[in-house]
Chains A and B, each alone.
Chain A
Amino acid sequence: MREIKKDLIHHPVPGSRWSHIWSGFIGDKLAVFALFIFIFYCLVSFLAPLLAPFDLNDPAFIDLINAEIAPSWISQDYRFLLGTDAQGRDLLSIILYGTRLSLTIGLCAVAIQATLGICIGLIAGYSGGRIDNFLMRCADIQLSFSNMMVAIVFLAIFQSIFGIAMYQQLAMVILILVIGLSEWPLFARTVRASVLAEKQQEYVDAARVMGISSKRIMFRHILPNTLSPILVIFTVQIANAIVTEAALSFLGLGMPVTEPSLGSLISDGFTYMFSGSWWICVIPSATLIILILAMNMLGDWLRDHLNPKVYKD
């Protein structure tokens, strides 16, 4: 009887990975806290149109009479909880929308990175030989340029090609594409390394003998076993993508002031720092830092807990 029970426990049950992650998760207060912050940010930005006290598209939203009002606990003006910026826009509303934009850009960009990286990593790892060599050489070269540098250069080029007015309309798509395309090697390398290890396993041989197509083996059989390292990179990369986006917007290469992300809000606020209106800059910065910190904490925890090898260099 006991033996049967033991047998039962040791059988891999579908979803056991997730329950393993989950049970370790609940034990770690810091990780729970970080996840809570991330979910809070997601919810708030998803519900931004409902939560924001002002409508961003309302022409009355920009009113210079209300410009540079300090946060409510200083100015005692309770119409604007976090004060207003130099154009009289309610800071809380634009921060909500800004977070929404930053998160969207981050998530979409990482989705592109992941898809590209996973496909390339699987193909390189599974087929090996010349293709593998070539793809990994490309990854090396791409990795040696930091993605922020690549993004700055390409956005600058695009901005000069399209002209500023046209560029601002396309800014979001271009940002997602540039950030998304510039950091796939991280995913590709990690996936490739796991694939190389998995390829030696018997179940892959079995699948091959059964005549299953290599595409199916790659995506249905090998890929699920490489998910834990992907998960770690995914979390950290979202944080990276958001920082990159913010930096680009700060340089004036990202989202325009009319449709601000957190980075362009900070950049906008920086000019008013010298005149004493610190809140225009400080509050979006704090919002950004807390989000990044939570993502990095999640990533760190996942890395320690799943202990995958992340191939960064």
Chain B
Amino acid sequence: MLIFLLRRLIQACFVMIIISVISFAVQDKLGDPVQQMVGLTVPQDERDQLREELGLNDGFIIQYWRFATRAIQGDLGTSYYYKQPTLEVIFQKVPATIELAFCAIILVVLVATPCGVLAAIKPKHLISRLLMIISSIGLSVPIFIVAIFMVYLFSIEWGLAPSFGRGQTTEIFAIWDSGLFTKDGLHHLLLPSLSLAIALMPIFIRLIRAEMMEVLQSEYIRFAWSKGLSAPRIYFIHALKNTMLPVITVGGIQAGTLVAYTILTETIFQWPGMGFLFMDAVSRVDTPLISAYLIVVGAMFVITNTLVDVIYGLVNPTVRLASHGS
């Protein structure tokens, strides 16, 4: 177990180093900090002197080392556009994205689990066939098209929900701007989270169905039947538990997709979250912000992935054995 943990940690550190090198290269190669700091009238030799003082003439590795030590202390530079430390700018936007992703995941879990289970226990039933057809089609519809049509139907044609922005937010614990506690905020949350959920749902319905069908074939389920347990108990307590394990791992893998999808949904709905901020930073060539975003998202990503793997390793002993063998 220790070896497994250690391995995952080394891998996580390795990935973080690669991400930080990339984001450092972004910051280093794009734009000239000296030009950002001084006016047009400053003569060349003063610029050269400033360049020397800032250590911009040092080698790549020395500069990277400086960047990394500052990054560990939580200083990722100052945004050109907002004139604030980049981490502050990003953390102001984190709540919006997390609320959006969280609501979408809750929706997916609440809808995909029963649908997948139903499709697995009654594969011939009309509803489950319909579900499978819909999820096959859903798999082929890109998320931005889903979002566009949600906007078209719900906010242009029927005028049911607003199509952009976050609405009224309340501040809780002085750091978290939440839209979950006002009617207006929830109203604004409806379309973005729904389209994010719809885009993720087909994958999970199909996955849960496939895993559930495999589990239902296994010996212990047959034993449970012959023991005379009730059907709901077998399906929802005995089978579902083992179905969810692989689903959780794949869910962890889908975290990257979720990040990409939030960028897309946030752009379409102009949701003031991290993805929207990132696209803004790209169009403004705000390099410190871009590289800070890379590091923050990369870190969140590596942490979730490592956690999912470790939890999976704790729950499922075969993984540990496999890692011992190799």
Whole-angstrom CA separation of A58 from B253 in the bound complex: 47
| Nearest residue, chain B, Cβ from A141 | B15
**Min CB–CB distance B26 → chain A (angstroms):** 6
Q: For B139, B142, B305, which residue has the most chain A Cβ atoms within 10 angstroms?
A: B142
Looking at the complex, which of A116-124, A150-158, A196-204 is the stretch in contact with chain B? A150-158
* Contact between chains at B264 and A247 (CB < 8 Å): yes
Q: For A146, A270, A313, which residue has the most chain B Cβ atoms within 10 angstroms?
A: A146
Q: Does B282 contact A (CB under 8 A)?
A: yes
Among B11, B256, B290, the residue within 8 A (CB) of A149 is B256
**Min CB–CB distance B64 → chain A (angstroms):** 17
* Contact between chains at A246 and B259 (CB < 8 Å): no
The interface residues of chain A lying within 8 Å CB-to-CB of B305 are: 144
Q: A144-B253, A145-B301, A159-B282 are in contact. Are A152 and B11 (CB under 8 A)?
A: no
Q: Is the interface on chain B under 10, 10 to 19, 20 to 34, or 35 or more residues?
A: 35 or more
The interface residues of chain B lying within 8 Å CB-to-CB of A239 are: 140
Q: Does B267 contact A (CB under 8 A)?
A: yes
| Nearest residue, chain B, Cβ from A145 | B256
Q: A149-B256, A149-B260, A157-B26 are in contact. Are A273 and B148 (CB under 8 A)?
A: yes
* Contact between chains at A156 and B145 (CB < 8 Å): no
Q: Does B137 contact A (CB under 8 A)?
A: yes
Q: Does B102 contact A (CB under 8 A)?
A: no
Among B256, B264, B290, the residue within 8 A (CB) of A146 is B256
**0/1 interface trace, chain A 280-303, chain B, CB 8 Å (1 if under):** 010001001100110111001000
**Min CB–CB distance A223 → chain B (angstroms):** 25
Q: Does B151 contact A (CB under 8 A)?
A: yes
* Contact between chains at B152 and A273 (CB < 8 Å): yes
Interfacial residues of chain B within 216-238, with CB under 8 A of chain A in the complex: none
Q: Does A251 contact B (CB under 8 A)?
A: yes
A to B contact number (C-beta, < 8 Å): 105
The interface residues of chain B lying within 8 Å CB-to-CB of A137 are: 11
| Nearest residue, chain A, Cβ from B155 | A274
Interfacial residues of chain B within 164-211, with CB under 8 A of chain A in the complex: none
* Contact between chains at B145 and A146 (CB < 8 Å): no
**Min CB–CB distance B151 → chain A (angstroms):** 7
The interface residues of chain B lying within 8 Å CB-to-CB of A250 are: 144, 264
Among A143, A289, A297, the residue within 8 A (CB) of B141 is A289
The interface residues of chain B lying within 8 Å CB-to-CB of A252 are: 279, 283
Q: Does B156 contact A (CB under 8 A)?
A: yes
Whole-angstrom CA separation of A251 from B268 in the bound complex: 9
* Contact between chains at B259 and A149 (CB < 8 Å): yes
Whole-angstrom CA separation of A145 from B16 in the bound complex: 12
Q: Is the interface on chain A under 10, 10 to 19, 20 to 34, or 35 or more residues?
A: 35 or more
- Decide if the interface of chain B is mainly helix, strand, loop or mixed: helix
The interface residues of chain A lying within 8 Å CB-to-CB of B267 are: 251
Among B22, B253, B290, the residue within 8 A (CB) of A160 is B290
Q: Does A266 contact B (CB under 8 A)?
A: yes
The interface residues of chain B lying within 8 Å CB-to-CB of A243 are: 142
The interface residues of chain B lying within 8 Å CB-to-CB of A297 are: 136
- Decide if the interface of chain A is mainly helix, strand, loop or mixed: helix
Whole-angstrom CA separation of A212 from B145 in the bound complex: 53
* Contact between chains at A156 and B140 (CB < 8 Å): no
* Contact between chains at A278 and B287 (CB < 8 Å): no
The interface residues of chain A lying within 8 Å CB-to-CB of B249 are: 313
The interface residues of chain B lying within 8 Å CB-to-CB of A161 are: 29-30
* Contact between chains at B15 and A251 (CB < 8 Å): no
| Nearest residue, chain A, Cβ from B259 | A149
**Min CB–CB distance A57 → chain B (angstroms):** 29
Q: Does B294 contact A (CB under 8 A)?
A: yes
| Nearest residue, chain B, Cβ from A243 | B142
Q: A160-B282, A250-B264 are in contact. Are A274 and B156 (CB under 8 A)?
A: yes
* Contact between chains at A289 and B290 (CB < 8 Å): no
Q: For A148, A161, A267, A274, which residue has the most chain B Cβ atoms within 10 angstroms?
A: A148
Q: Does A133 contact B (CB under 8 A)?
A: yes
Among B136, B142, B290, the residue within 8 A (CB) of A246 is B142
The interface residues of chain B lying within 8 Å CB-to-CB of A251 are: 263-264, 267, 279
Q: Does B24 contact A (CB under 8 A)?
A: no
* Contact between chains at B326 and A266 (CB < 8 Å): no
Whole-angstrom CA separation of A138 from B11 in the bound complex: 10
* Contact between chains at B282 and A156 (CB < 8 Å): yes
Q: Does B84 contact A (CB under 8 A)?
A: no
* Contact between chains at A296 and B144 (CB < 8 Å): no
| Nearest residue, chain A, Cβ from B145 | A285
Q: Does B254 contact A (CB under 8 A)?
A: yes
Interfacial residues of chain A within 151-176, with CB under 8 A of chain B in the complex: 152-153, 156-157, 159-161
**Min CB–CB distance B265 → chain A (angstroms):** 11
* Contact between chains at A288 and B145 (CB < 8 Å): yes
Q: Does B250 contact A (CB under 8 A)?
A: yes
| Nearest residue, chain A, Cβ from B264 | A247
| Nearest residue, chain A, Cβ from B263 | A152
| Nearest residue, chain B, Cβ from A275 | B156
Q: Does B143 contact A (CB under 8 A)?
A: yes
The interface residues of chain B lying within 8 Å CB-to-CB of A289 are: 140-142, 145
Q: A146-B257, A153-B294, A251-B264 are in contact. Are A266 and B144 (CB under 8 A)?
A: yes
In the A-B complex, list the 7 residue pairs whose CB atoms are closest, starting with the nearest: A146-B256, A148-B260, A293-B140, A146-B257, A292-B140, A149-B260, A156-B282
Q: Which residues of A contact B (CB under 8 A)?
A: 133, 137, 140-141, 143-146, 148-150, 152-153, 156-157, 159-161, 239, 243, 246-247, 250-253, 266-267, 270, 273-274, 278, 281, 285, 288-289, 292-293, 295-297, 300, 312-313
> What are 5 residue pairs bridging A and B, where the CB atoms are less than 8 Å apart in the complex?
A143-B253, A156-B279, A247-B260, A250-B144, A288-B142
